[in-house]
Structure 1
Amino acid sequence: MSLRSLDASDPRQVGPYRMFAELGRGGMGRVLLGSGLDGRLVAVKLVDEQYVDDDGFRARFRREVRASRQVAGAYTAAVIDADPEAPTPWLASVYVPGPALHTAVARTGVLDAEAALRLAAGLAAALMEVHHAGLVHRDLKPSNVLLTHDGLRVIDFGIARAAEGNGTRVTRTGVLIGTAGYMSPEQARGESLGSASDVFSLGSVLVYACTGHGPFEADSTPRILHNVLTAEPELGGLPERVRELAVACLAKDPAGRPTPEQLLGRIGGVAPAARPWPSAVHALIAAQQGEVDRLLPDGPPAGPPIPPAHTTVDQAPPAGFSRRRFLAAGGAALGIATAAGGVVWASSGGSGSKKRKTGTGKSATGATRRPVATLSSDVPLDDLRYSPDDSLLVAIGGDGAVRMFDVAARQPSGDPIKGGTGDKAKIFAVAFDEVGDTLATAGDGVKLWDVKTRRQVGALTVPLMASVDAPGPAHDVGYSPDGRLLGGAGMDLIQIWDARTHASVGRVDYGDANLMSKVCFTGDGKLLAIPDQTAVKIYDVASGRQSGQSLLGHTAHIIAALVSPDGRTLATAAYDSTVRLWDVPTGRAVGRPITVGSTTMVEFLAFSPDGHTLAGGTSNGDAYLWNVTTQRPVGRPIALGGEVTGVAFDGEGRTLATLSKRTIQFWDLAALARG
């Protein structure tokens, strides 16, 4: 983690705390280094703006803050202040210098038996503190364990739970909170978690500390999860006493694992030590502390009086500030869940752009256009689409329920559709059948709903993984263009049914492809297009085998893939900030890549009914139209004022609907084409 000087737009004050620098950032927000009125250093987590307008997130964050503040002890970095109601919610924790365990191992080598037992005892004691507060950590891993001069601190407890409600856009296609190599089996299955899940993670962390790798490592996330679920842990090289502890913690059955209290009993007494870690680790701690000492001003911070709590004020940088970098050891007392490190495997939204006024329609060139109509929602929405007869618009709410809107009346239509109760209530994707009578949802398997009555009329099971037949969550759902087939995406497979009889007709196991891929039938339904990292592989539905050559061209992971209405053209968007078009029958690229800027990603795609126009919604709040034949823009981009979370054409190709947070806007396509 590196120190970054504050930009002109960064807050110099968060509540009663003066900010000095940025410690890091990730999927839920960023962490700043600051100090309080008493001079104590704090790590302040600022929640990312994509969650700010989500009332459901604020409610969960509020509950977690209350619970987290009850966690106080020698083995956790105490939460000392928070304001969930602030315009930008924040949480302050005691700052603790010290490298994360993964950095210490990478830089100084694995721990010996004595240090590993000390680590195990400290982790067990930390989990006792967390669990006594009524929390389950759910992301205990080497990067969330800080090695300090007096022992260790476990960070980021309770915060992941606030994100799991999925009113947030931690992920669009599914939610698996945690890090694959350190998940428990029940966590990998998407089940409700108890304290025993954290004990399993403790065992995995212990193995890492002594070997430099987790007990279930493999060359892809699906294989890691398969190992977590079915394989015996790799424990070679562990000292005997550490091995005994790891075996107990890594029992597949939660009931077979020791509690943290029992684990402490098995470890026995740990000898006191003024320097608990190897000397090389203490050298890292001292170096990091030195960087902080040089960063801080010599005297009291300069500037106007500190304002009351619950306000954020921009002001000049504190006197004595100089730009420096921490060692890569990193030491924020509050961790950040990152896409690479531990939240989800799926396409996730970026929202680093500055806020703009919503709904003005002011384009990048300055021209102002206005929507012909606007719809508002009580919750943030995602993944917009029309029904086949254009009478309804559907989207997935931030609470995981499907909202329907009457297009003619411009108002909500009926009650939301919920996928179940509790952890199984969330819906991740929707698809209409060919005539629009049935809505298929992906969540707790694939469920079918009568559109008129909103009643469930069917339920289909998706295997958890290609190698595990137990029922699992479905992360996407889709019908073939001719309406004959229905597909549901599991973790590393797509299950296929006859859309009329619901009989299973096949399965495509895509293995190492993008985890939890989209259901993307091509042509007459005989093929499936499945993104595989930076390429697209085409699979034959009947045989389940790859057909033809991979489509190559992107240089970063593919976010979205969509087939045109006639089934011939495939559009893909990736994190390399490009959109590419492909001719499905030949597998050849169509024209040149479409670019929207070096730091802007297109995250949602839609074809017009005739297939001649492609729409894209971007992370920086713009919606674009392109001519499919020439790949040139149609008119100017529409600035929507917030991250675009859905685009859709009506069936006549006259209207484009755009979605940004809680607002659906309808745009006349002819007017947009005129610029």
Structure 2
Amino acid sequence: MSRPDESAVPHGRTGDAGWSTVAPPRLPLGASDPAVAGPYQLEAVLGAGGMGRVYLGRTPAGSAVAVKLVHREYAGDAAFRKRFAQEVAAARRVQGLYTVPVVDADLRADEPWLATAYVPGPSLQHAVAESGPLPADAALALIARVAEALQSIHAADVIHRDLKPSNILLTADGPKVIDFGIARAADLTAVTATGVRTGTPAYMAPEYIRGHTVAEAGDIFALGGVAHFAATGGHAFGGGTDHGVVYRILEQEPDLGGSPEPVRAVAAACLAKDPERRPTPAEVIGMCRRAAGDGGGSGGGAGHPATVVDVPPPRTVPDAHDQAAPGPYALTRTAAPAAPSSPSAPGPGPRPETATGTFGPPALLLGGVAAVVLVIVLVAVLLPSSGSDKQQQSSSPYGSYEPTGGLAFPARAPGPAGIDFSPDGRTLVTGGDDGKIRFWDVASRKQSDAVTQKNTVSNYVPGVVSVEFSPDGKLLATGTGTGGTGLYDVAGRRWLNYLHMGGENVAFSPDGKLLAIGSRTGSVFLFDPAERGDDIVAYFDHEHDVTAIAFSPDGKTLASVGDDSESTSGRSDTTRLWDIAGRDPEPYGQGDPAKVLKQPWEATAVAFGGPDGRTLAVGYPDGEVWLWDVSTGRKKATLRDDYLTEVADLEFSPDGKTLATTAESGGGVLLWNVARGKPSARLVSGDEDGKGKGLIEEVTFSRDGKLIAGADRKDRAVWLWQNPL
């Protein structure tokens, strides 16, 4: 196909914006390029990336769009398609001056594609390469506007995950941020299941590299790298191999030499290694505005006019650090959305579910960029529902129940990761990506203690991703994945042991005499919690990527699940049952598993239970839960529901009659009648139209089965329900 008419779509210009708006030349279609995608006629190649190629397309009426086609290697992966669909749906919710809207998509095509509005400007990467770094004032204006774009993205409950100069397009009206959230689709698919993280290493936050939960602060880290690049054309952590860059991100401070002072100050704040110390988007805007007002940077970069560009004013969202804490507010939700409330004068009662003002984010949404007012009020307090603790039921095919209360985390603290009740039900413990283990007194509804996980490998404080009490409640095991495993004396308030074998999953045997650790490296270790040091009792080789482990109620069997796609034995995607009672006394002498349960893909969660204790529930990324009879190794039932997409967690009630499940895309907690194989109730934390605002990924029962707790990382809260069954 011939080169398209260059006059058909304006390319932009170099002008008063303070940066070049001249788009790079477009490439003609090649022999292997398609001519159409859905209803769009493809005219030229705009670029290519790790996930696909981007084309200039035309609607039937002749309007220009950018069409991104996904590479076939991703398109053939079922898990990617599901994740891609979720992320495209989320991206469609994003609206803002400095973002590019998604206008269409076909996720079932042989090569999935999505179409966005066409922006006829260059990327920041291209502009700096062609014309040199931006002058300081222009760089500050760019940073502020990209921060405003992040506000819009985060307000839609989306994390960009791959913010970088090539994903920022420059126009005379300001920068336009593209590809928000889409990078997440490639994580944990067959293409990236070997531990490689999607994204660009130079702009990856330390917590993302370590595999921890990525929140809004991860995008702020990337923004710091973008700021330094815009002002200098270089990378804050240098160049060279990806491994070298990653090492410097984890272990060294950024090199911001050559960056003008006002830009350097903003970049340094954004590049803090501790996510809690990074500014919010609103704070970044304020920093840029003050720096521009001080006249701190009028020096020009090559090829750019030294003009002063107006920095947009910060959003009118109160800063958590400037707010006095008013009286308490309830954390429970109501079936109908509450009326909007002014962010500067919040009143008591449920959180509003609608946005206020002209800036988009719900003013009192926990965990969002505008959550500061309510979060500061709820620091470290377990609050009851307003008026009454009686659990409210709302209409649903099988009954939906709202929480009776919740735990709110400190401002800027990450949400809970790992959750467990003590055996007596009086204490609830949570982990978190900040390395803090928080103990909550259920009766008084207050945080009773907090300790910091220590690292056995380096001085870095690792995030705690799993916690579990011993059966007698005297010990607490903490899993970090990268920083070892901790064993904590609850009554004595002291660490008893640090095991260098890091694992994301920890589990005590029912008699408390064994501690199992499952690792992403494919190892399952057994320890004697009464011993000190790293001596193991047994080692089982799952061969690749253990995602969950569980003991049988009688303690004779240990189940491990994960992704075995690169197994050296030829086994692919299996659940393995290990004979604990008959294990070899030589720790490294364990043979093959007692049983191997074959499955079509990797598993994400596992739990033993059922009325007879012989049922194994295994959750999968397509949203199905399979129930297995471990005595025969046969599948008994398949559980499916519209609210259950990719299974995040599952746990049986103490009597084994109920199975609780959560999904990574939200939808609350489903309670299943195991005998019937049907859901009997849904525990919600959001509005009644379906998915809710929060994202409950982990669930646990109190030992008497009367209470259920759900960890909500997005709202940075733990919700509590009375068991309705």
Which one-letter code corresponds to 1:510 in the other structure? H
| Offset, 1:558 | 0.8
Which one-letter code corresponds to 2:579 in the other structure? D
Unaligned ranges ≥5, structure 1: 45-68, 73-77, 97-138, 145-154, 171-193, 205-253, 255-306, 313-353, 463-472
Residue of structure 2 in register with 1:668 after alignment: 722
Does structure 1 residue 482 correspond to structure 2 residue 534?
Answer: no
Residue of structure 2 in register with 1:603 after alignment: 648
Contact 1:363 1:637 in 2 (8 A): no
Which one-letter code corresponds to 1:668 in the other structure? Q
| Offset, 1:517 | 3.4
Which one-letter code corresponds to 1:449 in the other structure? Y
Which one-letter code corresponds to 1:650 in the other structure? S
Provide the rounded CA distance (Å) in 2 between the counterparts of 1:362 and 1:83: 39
| Offset, 1:447 | 1.6
| Offset, 1:71 | 13
Residue of structure 1 in register with 2:493 after alignment: 454
| Offset, 1:570 | 1.3
Residue of structure 1 in register with 2:450 after alignment: 415
Provide the rounded CA distance (Å) in 2 between the counterparts of 1:646 and 1:394: 13
Residue of structure 2 in register with 1:631 after alignment: 677
Say if 1:383 and 1:203 are closer, same or farther in 2 by CA, change over 3 A.
closer
Q: What is the alpha-carbon root mean square deviation over aligned residues? A: 5.0
Residue of structure 1 in register with 2:147 after alignment: 83
Alignment of 1:68-147 (within 5 A): 82-83=146-147, 86-89=151-154, 93-95=167-169
Provide the rounded CA distance (Å) in 1 between the counterparts of 2:405 and 2:198: 48
Provide the rounded CA distance (Å) in 2 between the counterparts of 1:8 and 1:501: 48
Say if 1:19 and 1:372 are closer, same or farther in 2 by CA, change over 3 A.
closer
Does structure 1 residue 425 correspond to structure 2 residue 507?
Answer: no
Which one-letter code corresponds to 2:627 in the other structure? L
Contact 1:22 1:32 in 2 (8 A): yes
Provide the rounded CA distance (Å) in 2 between the counterparts of 1:664 and 1:562: 21
Say if 1:568 and 1:529 are closer, same or farther in 2 by CA, change over 3 A.
same
Provide the rounded CA distance (Å) in 1 between the counterparts of 2:466 and 2:195: 29
Say if 1:200 and 1:643 are closer, same or farther in 2 by CA, change over 3 A.
same
Provide the rounded CA distance (Å) in 2 between the counterparts of 1:80 and 1:623: 39
Give 2:632's match in structure 1, choosing from 569, 573, 586.
Answer: 586
Which one-letter code corresponds to 2:605 in the other structure? A
Contact 2:485 2:500 in 1 (8 A): yes
| Offset, 1:156 | 5.9
1:389 alignment partner, SS class: coil
Provide the rounded CA distance (Å) in 2 between the counterparts of 1:427 and 1:597: 31
Does structure 1 residue 506 correspond to structure 2 residue 538?
Answer: yes
Which one-letter code corresponds to 1:583 in the other structure? D
Say if 1:422 and 1:459 are closer, same or farther in 2 by CA, change over 3 A.
closer
Say if 1:538 and 1:647 are closer, same or farther in 2 by CA, change over 3 A.
same
Contact 1:362 1:638 in 2 (8 A): no
Contact 2:668 2:682 in 1 (8 A): no
**CA deviations over 1:226-282 (Å, ceiling 9, x no partner):** xxxxxxxxxxxxxxxxxxxxxxxxxxxx9xxxxxxxxxxxxxxxxxxxxxxxxxxxx
Give 1:519's match in structure 2, choosing from 528, 537, 549.
Answer: 549
Residue of structure 2 in register with 1:152 after alignment: none
| Offset, 1:605 | 1.0
Say if 1:70 and 1:536 are closer, same or farther in 2 by CA, change over 3 A.
farther
Say if 1:563 and 1:163 are closer, same or farther in 2 by CA, change over 3 A.
same
Does structure 1 residue 436 correspond to structure 2 residue 473?
Answer: yes
1:427 alignment partner, SS class: coil
Residue of structure 2 in register with 1:653 after alignment: 705
Provide the rounded CA distance (Å) in 2 between the counterparts of 1:95 and 1:570: 50
Identical residues among aligned pairs (%): 25
Provide the rounded CA distance (Å) in 1 between the counterparts of 2:684 and 2:602: 26
Provide the rounded CA distance (Å) in 2 between the counterparts of 1:476 and 1:86: 34
Say if 1:527 and 1:141 are closer, same or farther in 2 by CA, change over 3 A.
closer
Which one-letter code corresponds to 1:588 in the other structure? R
Provide the rounded CA distance (Å) in 2 between the counterparts of 1:653 and 1:456: 29
Contact 1:361 1:639 in 2 (8 A): no
Q: Select the structure with the greater relative contact order (CA < 8 A; seq sep ≥ 6).
A: 1
2:208 alignment partner, SS class: helix
Give 2:561's match in structure 1, choosing from 508, 524, 531.
Answer: 531
Which one-letter code corresponds to 1:483 in the other structure? G
Residue of structure 1 in register with 2:523 after alignment: 493
Provide the rounded CA distance (Å) in 2 between the counterparts of 1:530 and 1:200: 35
Provide the rounded CA distance (Å) in 2 between the counterparts of 1:24 and 1:159: 29
Contact 2:453 2:461 in 1 (8 A): no
Provide the rounded CA distance (Å) in 2 between the counterparts of 1:393 and 1:532: 28
| Offset, 1:387 | 0.9
Residue of structure 2 in register with 1:149 after alignment: none
Residue of structure 2 in register with 1:59 after alignment: none
2:425 alignment partner, SS class: coil
| Offset, 1:584 | 2.0
| Offset, 1:88 | 2.9
Residue of structure 1 in register with 2:423 after alignment: 388
| Offset, 1:22 | 8.3
Contact 2:669 2:683 in 1 (8 A): yes
Residue of structure 2 in register with 1:621 after alignment: 667
1:86 alignment partner, SS class: helix
Contact 2:418 2:466 in 1 (8 A): yes
Which one-letter code corresponds to 2:705 in the other structure? G
1:88 alignment partner, SS class: helix
Residue of structure 2 in register with 1:184 after alignment: none
Unaligned ranges ≥5, structure 2: 1-51, 55-65, 69-87, 108-112, 126-132, 137-141, 155-159, 171-193, 216-235, 246-250, 252-310, 317-360, 367-384, 386-391, 564-572, 585-589, 687-691
Residue of structure 1 in register with 2:378 after alignment: none
Contact 1:606 1:614 in 2 (8 A): yes
Give 2:484's match in structure 1, choosing from 438, 445, 469.
Answer: 445
Give 2:596's match in structure 1, choosing from 538, 546, 550.
Answer: 550
Which one-letter code corresponds to 2:503 in the other structure? A
Contact 1:80 1:94 in 2 (8 A): no
**CA deviations over 1:299-344 (Å, ceiling 9, x no partner):** xxxxxxxx967789xxxxxxxxxxxxxxxxxxxxxxxxxxxxxxxx
Which one-letter code corresponds to 2:465 in the other structure? F
| Offset, 1:372 | 2.8
2:677 alignment partner, SS class: coil
Say if 1:633 and 1:494 are closer, same or farther in 2 by CA, change over 3 A.
same
Contact 1:15 1:308 in 2 (8 A): no
Residue of structure 2 in register with 1:371 after alignment: 403
| Offset, 1:665 | 2.4
**CA deviations over 1:410-462 (Å, ceiling 9, x no partner):** 11121233234743432222221120111111232222111124311122232
Say if 1:369 and 1:508 are closer, same or farther in 2 by CA, change over 3 A.
closer
| Offset, 1:648 | 1.4
Residue of structure 2 in register with 1:273 after alignment: none
Provide the rounded CA distance (Å) in 1 between the counterparts of 2:90 and 2:527: 55
Provide the rounded CA distance (Å) in 2 between the counterparts of 1:521 and 1:140: 26
| Offset, 1:579 | 0.9
**CA deviations over 1:613-649 (Å, ceiling 9, x no partner):** 1111223232111122221222345354211122111
Contact 1:17 1:34 in 2 (8 A): no
**CA deviations over 1:346-391 (Å, ceiling 9, x no partner):** xxxxxxxx99988987564496644333322223112321111111
Say if 1:630 and 1:4 are closer, same or farther in 2 by CA, change over 3 A.
farther
Q: TM-score, normalised by structure 1?
A: 0.51
Provide the rounded CA distance (Å) in 1 between the counterparts of 2:662 and 2:705: 17
Residue of structure 1 in register with 2:202 after alignment: 157
1:83 alignment partner, SS class: helix
Say if 1:601 and 1:142 are closer, same or farther in 2 by CA, change over 3 A.
closer
